Chain A
Amino acid sequence: MKEINCKHCGGPNAVGSRFCGHCGASLQPSSEQICPSCQTVNSIDLLYCDNCGTRLNPDAGEEDESESAANAGGTPQPFSLPERSPGQTGPLDIEQELPDWLRTGEVDDDQEPSTSLDLDAPEESGITHRPQDDLPEWLVEEEGIGAIFESDKSTDELFERDSTQADEGKDQEPLPSWLEGLSPEGTGPLPTLPLADLDEAKIGAEETDIPDWMAEVEQDDDAMSPSQDEAVVEGVDAVDAERPYDNASEDEFDVSDELVMDDSPWTGADLAFPDWLLSERGESPEEKTRTESDEDDFPDWLSRSDEEEVPPDQMPDWLRDDVSASPAPPRSQDPYVSRPREVEEGVPEWLGSSRPPEASPDWDADRAEPDMADTTYEMTGIPTGEEQEDEKKAEEAPHTHSARGEDEPSETYASEWEASFLADEVTAEPSESMSGDEDADATFLRWLNSLEDEQPETAETNEAEAGEAAGDLSLETVTASAAESETAHEQALPGWLDELDEVDDEESDTSSEDIVAADIPSWLRDLAPPGTGPLPQPNAEEPAPATPLSEGSDDLLTDIDTSADLPDWLAVSADPQTLSDSESTEGAHGAGSDPAEGEEAPEEGIPDWLASIVADEGETAESTDETIESDETLIEADQLDSEHDWLSPSLSLAEERLDDGGAEVEVGPAADVEDETSTGDDAGYESLPEWFIAAAAAESIVTDERDSELDDELEPTGPDEIDDDFSGLPAWMRDIAADEADSLTLLDIGTESDSPPEEETPGIEHVPGHAPEQDRAEVTAYESPGEPAPEAEDELWEALDLMEAELGMPAAADEASSAVEPAAIEDMPPWLQEVEKEMEDEAESDGVPANATIAESDSEMPEWLVAGLGGQALVELSEGDLLELQEEASLEDLLAELAPPDQGKAADELSRAQIPAWIENLRPGIADEDIDFADDTAPESGPLTGLPGVVAVAPAIAAIEAAGSARVATERNTITKEQQQQVILLRQLAQAGTVVVPGEATRAPSSRVSASLLLSAVALFLLTAIFAGRLMPDLLSVAPPPVADVQVAETALAESAEQPVIVAFDYSPAVADALDAQADAFLRALAANNSTVLYLSQSPAGLALAEMAMARAEPTQAVNLGFIPAESIGLRRLAACLDADNPCLSPFGEPLATETSAALGDAALIVILTGDTTTLVDWIEQVGAAHDVPILAGVTEAVAPVAAPYAATGQVQAVLAGAGAAQALGGSDSSPLTSLALAQWTAVALILVGGVYFAIVGQPRGDRR
């Protein structure tokens, strides 16, 4: 179980505890820490108090070390990386990984046992802990490391510096993506601190991680001189000298190596230098008057004139700090004062970052004061006399940079760091291992000083100051004032050089200069004019001893000037001045300086002032072994300066390099020829990488040859050289170089006329002792394809304009923008320019018109689009047409206009294809042609009126039916019998579940039985009563109720005797039992009276009943009038027949028989036998009212009450009701009456019994509603 220790009491606590279990202190990591000394709150990441400098967490090291000791199994280890428990607060890991002595910088043997490891005393353990024990072996073995321990500077400061630098490296902006893309894997990122690697002792790192140059130092430590100072110098030089760069793996390649490695076989290493450095190396006085365009390139705060005070808020932070720190900054009316700032703007980030930023780290707060502005000023801008005076004034003032308490040097050099360089040169004793580069450094410094002597504006002061500078630069002066110049030296150095210088300070006062000198990047040393030569020249006035080039030729040949690997575009882009200059001088350059060409960027990377300066340098370097040719070249450069200023430096440099080999250097015929034939534009290739130049040279050799022949030419002329050139490059750049070299072949399109003949190249004579590749570079630098012919230039511009038009860039034809576009193109990296040029050249080399590229690009258009264009060749479209098209219509419009001709078909296919197969299977089995879906006629009615394209439904349905799909559908919808039964069952179940029969469920079984019994009993009783009255003898002697109308009826019957009597049998068989008795009584009475019976009926059954009654009564004469329809209407018509005068028709319209009609007219009595009230009423109202014929109504007991009123009014003579009336009328048989009486009594009895029963028992449960 892991534990964490309380910071307050040190007690162990479980991981995750919030408070200490021993003291209650919070265990949560805090973002702040309080200084134990001054109680100042500091950030947690600080190691020392920001206020008092007290170590903030002195216990961390002890804990970690004790922990690591425990992990080591008790084996005491001199140095081990401590582990850090999770959640443990305190210093950063990297700080814990360092030994305490390294953190504190205090090497105190007395404190060592107590502060480092909790081990036994060294004496007891028998282990002597040395400070070196904490260092890696490779670092321990470094003898020079002893200077670290012996240095006055604390290692803590050293460490802080390194850590700060590392942080700065992290904070630096990443490389541009395109630049990162260029960097192949394995090469690693470009270093941000080229020289800081000297100090970055990556403790604990494996040796493989050591920079190559340091590895070389380790390997070659034996070659070091006994002196530490010399050892360092020699070690570094040994790296430069002995390290075969060609053998270095690609993984080992590092740009730091580029900066450290200075000796390049390409003495024209500055070709690849950042142009701003080249430009800042010197500038002609003529160029001091800067153009407005130059000013425009400056930042706002920088572009202001010197007269105008720049507000501090507009300055960069680092400069503002510097200004604030420097009350009297050296200012000058010279516009060059702003140049360092300008340069600062153009400094690549990675290079600029080598300088400590505005926020100087604590470890070097005092040293960081000389900011980049001053540094670059000192480094690049050679101060004039006025500037020097200003500097003197500034130095006289209290300078905040003197943090060390050292007095500022009163005297001022052209550049104090130059003085240190010189001091380095002087103090460093020449040794065998010392290469000529050291001499070159000194020479360079002298050259720099000499340049200021050449400043015409300060001619007078220069003389004095030159002598002073010469004196200052002398060995004695430098040696004597080394300490004094240290501060100024630091101020003048750029940040990364300052770091380097700091290392020197730590080692020794005397060795610091050597180290600085040794660590001067080779490319910086190469900045020295060639005229100065590689040999050291302690004094600019003194001619440098000619050092044969052969002495250092081996090193030079083997060493690869990796600075040449710096991309040219970086150099070009780094200096906006060059761009502005190039723009401004574009017109002056004429055809040969056309910026559209890819080689323009490197050409213009060399400003005019550089050429002039070099020319001046050539003039001032009379003491050197310059040849007449070089002078002439310089003269020519001066002459060309007015037109092609940038040519001068290249020419002079080339000449100087040729002269570097000594006096015996001779310019070969080729050089002469070059001077004569080649234009100054050719020199623009100085800025190109060597591989570029080599490739260009190869191309120049094979001017008229094809690309395939180029390879053939390269090999015989110098295959090794070419290979070496490329091999000196990193792999990824080698590839690019090869590509660009191939692309260079295209450049000859417009330069064939100007390119030197092929046979001229072999004529170049290599200078003895001069590396073939060096010669090659020089030669190719001159022979590289120059400016294209104006015609070719125009073609290229046209192609470029077309490309721009194609890419949607502003119209190339625009003159206003055309002047800007070259500059914009120049802003592009050279390789990109080359790519663009390659495109153009390929187009032209293939013989295709420039606008053919558009056609090629259009080849990627969809076919339909191409077809939509009507198949016209796009090549026929001129640039103007394209621009017009681009202006008039957008791409969408064009596409809309160029719709695919076969779009409908495609859409149809698409729609069909999108229909799933299973949907297709559902389609009715009919052919599509059977349905006329293409009926475009809009419907004239319905909701879809007027809508075209409506599918006619009727034809579709008809087609489906015709195809039998209807039958299929019917079959599909047919319900089988089984299904029907299932439906019925389900329905019954559903209804059974929902229908509730009220009371049924609650009815008791007894009630059901009683109800059934009751019904049965009622029926039984009634039937018994009926049959008992019929069957049983008249035991009851019942008498019918007295009927008052019987006498009226007998009277009417008597009065109608011998007359026809109408008897209507309008009763049903239901009441026949009651009425039949009456009918029989009436018929017997009528028969007795000998009356004719005319019988009829309004009911079909009545006639039958009448027949039966007739049969029973056997009247004398009976006439069947038949059925009388239409009830009242029929009765009304019958009533009409009663009139003897009117003919009477039968109900069917037939006239009645005469007898019948007469009988009707003679009818004296109407007997109505009915059980229906309406029928009685109809007879009374329709027949009885029409005639005065008396009406006898034989009715049932139910109708009797209704007939009673008619009887009361006289409309009915008598109403006989029921069986009793019949009995009273003269019935003979009393059996029916008895039966009726028994049944009727039974019914009354049942009702009474039931009523009483249910009245007593009550209603049963469930029947209550």
Chain B
Amino acid sequence: MLSLKRSYSVALAVIFGLLTLIGLVAVPSLADIILGWAALLATVALVLGVLNLFRIHGRRAADGNFYSGVLVLSMLVVFGLALTDAFNLTTGGVTAIFTWIQIPLEAAMSSLLAFFLVLAGARLLQHKRNGWSILFLASALFFAIVQAPLPTGIQEIVEPIRSIISTVLVTAGVRGLLLGVAIGVILLSLRVLVGLERPYSQ
């Protein structure tokens, strides 16, 4: 049974992968239809994901987990404001939530990231006192200083160094990463098309 299920899934994956490939290459409409089904499925999956998240955190909130309760409550509030905005009962309710709650929170989280990165960089040599640590720390400090707004006098001194570093070193590295990712995506797509890779079965 399991092998049969796998066979069906593999077959479907292979079939729709090839159809999508063919559609992208030869028949764009066919590709659009298949991609529309995929988008629909992704949307349903998003809804299922939201419901599953609500169920789980609702259970934990029932068990007394405070944060889960806040999460569930936030979901209900946002969903409620969305409904009210949809039925014009309210105006800009969801936007307000995003503006006054989510954006400051996410900004705070990013600032904390900056805070922890600074602290980690400061204590790097406390745990790893080797050349690579020093190099890593020096790079971070260099790029932090170079990328930072500097006074005009200093900016002119640092700009050629930063331009070289960003256009040569950083672009080379990122390009290599992108090429690698692109090769990996091609390989992965071929494996999926031939059934060797089954990410859908996990």
**A interface list, Cβ under 8 A from B:** 1014-1015, 1018-1019, 1022, 1026, 1036-1042, 1068-1073, 1100-1101, 1103-1105, 1107-1108, 1125-1127, 1129-1130, 1132-1133, 1136, 1145, 1147-1149, 1177, 1197, 1200-1202, 1204-1206, 1208, 1218-1220, 1223, 1233-1234, 1236-1237, 1239-1244, 1246-1255, 1258-1260, 1263, 1265
- Set A1038, A1201, A1252, A1255: member contacting B150, Cβ < 8 A: A1038
Closest 3 CB pairs between A and B?
A1250-B122, A1104-B98, A1069-B103
Q: Across the interface, do A1243 and B144 meet the contact criterion of CB distance under 8 Å? A: yes
Other-chain residue from A1014, A1042, A1132, A1147 in contact with B159 (beta carbon distance below 8 A): A1042
Q: How far, in Å, is A773 (CB) from chain B's closest CB? A: 117
- Distance, CA A1070 to CA B104, complexed state (A): 8
Interface of A is mostly: helix
Known: A1108-B98, A1177-B178. 9 other contacts (CB 8 A): A1022-B115, A1041-B147, A1130-B42, A1197-B147, A1244-B148, A1246-B121, A1250-B123, A1250-B124, A1263-B127
Q: How far is the CA of A1041 from the CA of B145 in the complex (A)?
A: 11
Residue of A at shortest CB range from B124? A1251
Q: How far is the CA of A1219 from the CA of B152 in the complex (A)?
A: 16
Q: What is the bound-complex CA distance between A1202 and B118, given in angstroms?
A: 23
Task: State A1073–B111 Cα separation when bound (angstroms).
Answer: 10
Looking at B31-39, B63-71, B194-202, the stretch in contact with chain A turns out to be B31-39
| Nearest chain A CB to B128 CB, angstrom units | 9
Q: CA separation between A913 and B170, bound complex, in Å?
A: 93
Q: CA separation between A1223 and B144, bound complex, in Å?
A: 18
Contact A1070/B147 with A1022-B114, A1133-B39 known, Cβ cut-off 8 Å: no
CB–CB A1246/B127 < 8 A: no
A1133-B126 CB under 8 A given contacts A1237-B150, A1251-B137:
no
Within 8 A of A (CB), among B103-124: 103-107, 109-111, 113-115, 117-119, 121-124
- Cα distance, A508 to B92, chains bound together (Å): 165
Cβ of B133 to closest chain A Cβ, rounded Å: 9
Q: Which of A1069, A1071, A1136, A1205 contacts B104 (CB 8 A)?
A: A1069
Interface assignment of B95: CB less than 8 Å from any CB of chain A: yes
Q: Is there an interface contact between B119 and A1014, defined as CB atoms closer than 8 Å? A: yes
Q: B residues within 8 A CB of A1239?
A: 114
Residues A1147 and B43 in contact, CB atoms below 8 Å apart: yes
**Closest chain B residue to A1011, Cβ basis:** B123
Distance in Å: Cβ of B96 to nearest Cβ of chain A: 9
Least distance between B178 CB and chain A CB atoms (Å): 6
Min distance, Cβ B121 to any Cβ of chain A, angstroms: 4
A1243 nearest in chain B by CB position: B118
> Given the interface contacts A1042-B159, A1197-B147, does A1108 sit within 8 Å of B35 by beta carbon?
no
Residues of A within 8 A of B5 (CB): none
* Also in contact, A1263 and B126, with CB within 8 A (given A1042-B159, A1107-B95, A1125-B46): yes
Residues of A near B76 (CB, < 8 A) are none
Bound CA span A1068–B110, Å: 10
In the bound assembly, the distance between CA atoms of A1019 and B114 in angstroms comes to: 10
Could you tell me if A1204 and B39 are in contact, using CB atoms closer than 8 angstroms? no
Q: Which residues of A contact B117 (CB under 8 A)?
A: 1243
- Residue in chain A with minimal CB distance to B78: A1100
Which listed residue (B42, B115, B123) contacts A1125, Cβ 8 A?
A: B42
A1204–B141 CB distance below 8 A: no
The residues of B that contact A1234 with a CB separation of less than 8 Å are: 149
Bound-complex Cα distance A1155 to B130 (A): 62
Residues of A within 8 A of B94 (CB): 1104
The interface residues of chain B lying within 8 Å CB-to-CB of A1247 are 118, 121-122, 124, 137, 140-141, 144
Q: Please indicate the chain B residues that have their CB under 8 angstroms from the CB of A1125 in the complex.
A: 39, 42-43, 46
Q: Does B51 contact A (CB under 8 A)?
A: no
CB distance B149 to A1126 under 8 Å?
no
A-B contact pairs, 16 of them (CB 8 A): A1069-B98, A1072-B103, A1072-B107, A1104-B98, A1105-B98, A1107-B95, A1108-B95, A1129-B35, A1133-B36, A1202-B174, A1204-B167, A1205-B171, A1242-B118, A1244-B145, A1250-B122, A1254-B125
A1072 partner residues in chain B, CB cutoff 8 A:
103, 106-107
Q: A153: shortest Cβ distance to chain B, in Å?
A: 122
Contacts of A1037 in B (CB 8 A): 151-152
Supposing A1104-B94, A1250-B122 touch, asked if A1201 and B171 sit within 8 A by C-beta, the answer is yes
> In the complex the two chains form, is B122's CB within 8 Å of A1018's CB?
yes
Determine if A1041 and B118 form an interchain contact, defined as CB atoms under 8 angstroms apart.
Answer: no
- B35 contacts A1205, CB within 8 Å? no
CB neighbours (8 Å) of A1260 from chain B are 126
Q: A1126-B39, A1218-B147 are in contact. Are A1204 and B174 (CB under 8 A)?
A: yes
Is B102 interfacial (CB 8 A cutoff)? yes
| A1233 surroundings in chain B (CB, below 8 A) | 149
B26 at the interface (CB under 8 A from A): no
CA distance A1103 to B127 in the complex (A): 43
With a CB–CB cut-off of 8 A, which chain A residues contact B141?
A: 1244, 1247-1248
B110 contacts which of A1039, A1071, A1265 (Cβ < 8 Å)?
A1071
Contacts of B124 in A (CB 8 A): 1247, 1250-1251, 1254
Look across to chain B and name the residue whose beta carbon is closest to the beta carbon of A1132: B35
State the CA gap A1263–B126 with chains docked (Å).
Answer: 9
CB proximity of A75 to chain B, nearest CB, Å: 114
Q: Across the interface, which residues of B come within 8 angstroms of A1258, CB to CB?
A: 126, 129
Task: For the complex formed, measure the closest distance between the CB of B180 and the CB atoms of chain A, giving whole angstroms.
Answer: 12
B107-A1069 in contact (CB<8A): yes
In the bound assembly, the distance between CA atoms of A661 and B43 in angstroms comes to 153
Instruction: Enumerate chain A residues within 8 angstroms of B123, measured Cβ to Cβ.
Output: 1014, 1250, 1254
Q: Is B166 interfacial (CB-CB < 8 Å)?
A: yes
Decide yes or no whether B77 CB sits under 8 A from chain A.
no
- In the complex where A1126-B38, A1244-B144 touch, is A1070 in contact with B149 (Cβ < 8 A)? no
Complex-state Cα separation, A1204 to B36, whole angstroms? 31
Given the known inter-chain contacts A1125-B42, A1251-B125, please indicate yes or no for A1237 contacting B148, CB distance below 8 A: yes
- Please measure, in the bound complex, the distance between the C-alpha atom of A543 and the C-alpha atom of B60, giving whole angstroms: 144
* A1232 vs B44: C-alpha distance when bound (angstroms): 41
Question: A1248 to B140, alpha carbons, bound, how many Å?
Answer: 10
Contact of B36 among A1105, A1145, A1205, A1259 (CB under 8 A): A1145
Residue among B31, B95, B152 making CB contact with A1104, cutoff 8 Å: B95
The answer for the CA separation of A1104 and B101 in the assembled complex, in Å, is: 11
Pairwise interchain contact B42-A1236, C-beta atoms closer than 8 A: no
Residue contact A1136 to B126, C-beta cutoff 8 Å? no
Q: Is the CB of B95 within 8 A of A1038?
A: no
* A1254 adjacent to B126 (CB under 8 Å): yes
Complex contacts, A1255 vs chain B, CB 8 Å: 125, 129, 134
State whether B159 touches A1129 (Cβ < 8 A): no
CA–CA, A1026 to B46, complex, Å? Answer: 37
Give A1148 to B117 CA distance when docked, in angstroms: 41
Minimum CB–CB distance from A639 to chain B (whole Å) comes to 120
In the complex the two chains form, is B126's CB within 8 Å of A1201's CB?
no
B9 interface hit (Cβ, 8 Å): no
- A1108 near B99 (CB under 8 angstroms)? yes
- A1039 partner, pick from B92, B127, B134, B155, beta carbons under 8 A: B155
Residue from B94, B126, B145, B159 with most neighbouring chain A CB atoms (10 Å): B126
Is there an interface contact between B166 and A1201, defined as CB atoms closer than 8 Å?
yes
* CB of A1255 to closest CB in B, whole Å: 4
Q: For B152, what are the chain A residues with a Cβ–Cβ distance below 8 Å?
A: 1037-1039
How far, in whole Å, are A1085 and B162 apart by their CA atoms in the complex?
Answer: 27
Is B186 engaged at the interface, CB distance under 8 Å to the other chain?
no
A677 to chain B, nearest CB (A): 117
Which residues of chain B are near A1129, meaning CB under 8 Å? Answer: 35, 38-39, 42
Closest to A1234 in B: B149
Given A1069-B104, A1240-B144, check contact A1104 B36 (CB 8 Å).
no
B12 within 8 A of A: no
The answer to whether B122 touches A1246 (Cβ under 8 A) is yes
Contacts of A1259 in B (CB 8 A): 126-127, 129
Residues of B within 8 A of A1018 (CB): 115, 118-119, 122
